Chains A and B, each alone.
Chain A
Amino acid sequence: MGLLAFFRRTPATASLAKERLRIIVAQERTNRDGPDYLPLLRRELFEVIKKYVNVDPEAIQVTLEKEEGHDVLELSVALPGKG
């Protein structure tokens, strides 16, 4: 680290990396361990919802939660605020 670099620190982005990975890895594990139709279901739901509300793909979360004796398919859509 030279004199210049000492004063011009690179921003601390490690926590950003960790947070992004935590989310994407969790999502990919759900797809991996869950039934094969999950990614397609997510895509089709997105297409349907988009007909009515203009949402981002990342606003739609499809997760499969394992509970005692049965699985719960959870669909969460974050709607854009009025603006």
Chain B
Amino acid sequence: MTLETESTVQPLAGQEENAVRPAPQPVGNPTPSITGASKLTEIIVVTSGKGGVGKTTTSASLACGLAQRGKKVAVIDFDIGLRNLDLIMGCERRVVYDFVNVINGDCTLKQALIKDKRIETLYILAASQTRDKDALHAEGVRRVFDELIADGFDYIICDSPAGIEKGAHLAMYYADRAIVVVNPEVSSVRDSDRILGLLASKTARAEKGESKVKEHLLLTRYSPRRVANGEMMSVDDVKEILGVDVIGVIPESQDVLSASNAGTPVILNAESDVAQAYEDAVRRLLGEEVPLRFLQEPKRGFFARMFGG
């Protein structure tokens, strides 16, 4: 077992796990320190409605990008029954405990958080593979979030399942910010609008009448060539239909499949356009103004256009 567990071992002073986090708090206890720290932690849901548009790829890459900038990040897979984030993050063989185990008190949060081997401040919480749909509930999710907040996490990234059922609902429920992943394609755009409606009505912020969840679009599988040919809707088309600002445009690329094959989040493949587009999105998340890139087809010579792929 390679997962770092601390239930039996007394951590030594200066050990990395010990240095970054305070002692674990028992699950179920109210966390007293949230009042001061709560403002510092941002909960971000990565959602879409439609499946297969790149939610998990996006969650993994944004989490990596934020952690590489020194932020302490937890990325959580909310897809009950269908665990996938661990594969994309390349830590599938290190999963011992999952999200539902923590909620049920089968283990501590510290035991279930998988520390990324590449980036110091990145942690993954795997989805449960249980078939029990009620295993995840709002009160349990809140407890886990409060513990992460008390532990000084800067970001909690919630990787939502597809659809609008319970897992998707809970992934967005406590969000401060939402990244709606959308393909420039009719069904994905329509489902995104549905999700925007839910973000505006079925979240804790909406129910309590607090300031609304900050919404952004992130376009994936964007093909500038097809847009130029009028075969694919443009960024501006999608933005106009949905009326939400765009935080990133990720070009269509074979690098995404290669990255998932290898279990390395695509943002870590520095040469890839996809990685650079995700880096830009991370910078925008952090409040920087970065112009959109990769919206134009790269210039190609005559022979490449005639015979190239």
- List residues of chain A with CB under 8 Å of any chain B CB: 1-3, 6, 9-15, 17-18, 20-22, 24-25, 28-29, 32
Q: Knowing A1-B305, A22-B241 are in contact, say whether A29-B193 is a contact too (CB < 8 A).
A: yes
The reply to whether the CB of B287 lies closer than 8 angstroms to some CB of chain A is no
Cβ contact within 8 Å between A18 and B241: yes
Q: Knowing A14-B233, A14-B234, A21-B186 are in contact, say whether A3-B307 is a contact too (CB < 8 A).
A: yes
With a cutoff of 8 Å between Cβ atoms, the chain B residues found around residue A21 in the complex are 186, 189-190, 241
Interface size class on chain B is 20 to 34
Cβ contact within 8 Å between A2 and B307: yes
Q: Knowing A3-B306, A14-B233 are in contact, say whether A32-B197 is a contact too (CB < 8 A).
A: yes
Cβ contact within 8 Å between B305 and A6: yes
- Residues 258 to 309 of chain B near chain A (Cβ within 8 Å): 305-309
Cβ contact within 8 Å between A28 and B193: yes
Q: Which residue of chain A is the closest to B194 with respect to CB atoms?
A: A28
Q: Knowing A2-B307, A3-B306, A22-B241 are in contact, say whether A9-B229 is a contact too (CB < 8 A).
A: yes
Q: Knowing A2-B307, A24-B190 are in contact, say whether A18-B237 is a contact too (CB < 8 A).
A: yes
Q: Knowing A18-B237, A21-B186, A21-B190 are in contact, say whether A12-B307 is a contact too (CB < 8 A).
A: no
CA distance in complex: A10, B225 (Å): 12
- 10 A-B residue pairings within 8 Å (CB atoms): A1-B308, A1-B309, A3-B307, A9-B229, A14-B237, A17-B185, A18-B237, A24-B190, A28-B194, A29-B197
- List residues of chain B with CB under 8 Å of any chain A CB: 185-186, 189-190, 193-194, 197, 225, 227, 229-234, 237, 240-242, 305-309
- Cβ of B249 to closest chain A Cβ, rounded Å: 15
With a cutoff of 8 Å between Cβ atoms, the chain A residues found around residue B189 in the complex are 21, 25
CA distance in complex: A17, B187 (Å): 10
- Cβ of A36 to closest chain B Cβ, rounded Å: 13
Contact of A12 among B190, B225, B230, B242 (CB under 8 A): B230
Cβ contact within 8 Å between B186 and A20: yes
CA distance in complex: A3, B307 (Å): 6
